[in-house]
């Protein structure tokens, strides 16, 4: 599968719950300050990654389509 998503954690928002890492340790890790971050900025489309982004309590995780630049999550309003 092609790596079509760009996954980022907004460090201005992340409040270090660790939920993303606990839910998907293959996709997320903690940085040296205890904030979540994607293990790889580019990833294949993934229901798990989308569910983690949806479950982040302050929507610090964003997903964009790497090819088109369209936002996958949070959805554009």
CB of 4 to ligand SF4, least distance (A): 21
Question: Which residue, 29 or 45, is less far from ligand SF4 as judged by CB?
Answer: 29
CB of 1 to ligand SF4, least distance (A): 24
- As to burial, measured by CB atoms within 10 angstroms (0-12 exposed, 13-18 middle, 19+ buried), residue 30 is middle
**Given the rule CB under 6 A, which of 17-25, 42-50, 67-75 is the region that contacts ligand SF4?**
17-25
Instruction: Output DSSP code: residue 76.
Output: P
Contact (CB, 8 A) for 52 and 27: yes
Please, where are the H alpha helices in the chain?
19-23, 47-55
Residues 30-59 that bind ligand SF4 (CB under 6 A): 35-36, 56, 58
Size of the site for ligand SF4 (CB under 6 A): 14
């Amino acid at each position: 599968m092609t790596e079509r998503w760009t996954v980022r954690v907004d460090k201005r928002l992340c409040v270090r719950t660790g939920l993303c890492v606990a839910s998907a340790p293959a996709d997320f890790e903690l940085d040296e300050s205890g904030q979540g971050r994607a293990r790889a900025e580019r990833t294949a489309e993934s229901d798990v990654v989308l569910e983690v982004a949806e479950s982040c309590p302050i929507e610090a995780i964003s997903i964009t389509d790497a090819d088109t630049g369209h936002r996958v999550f949070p959805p554009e309003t």
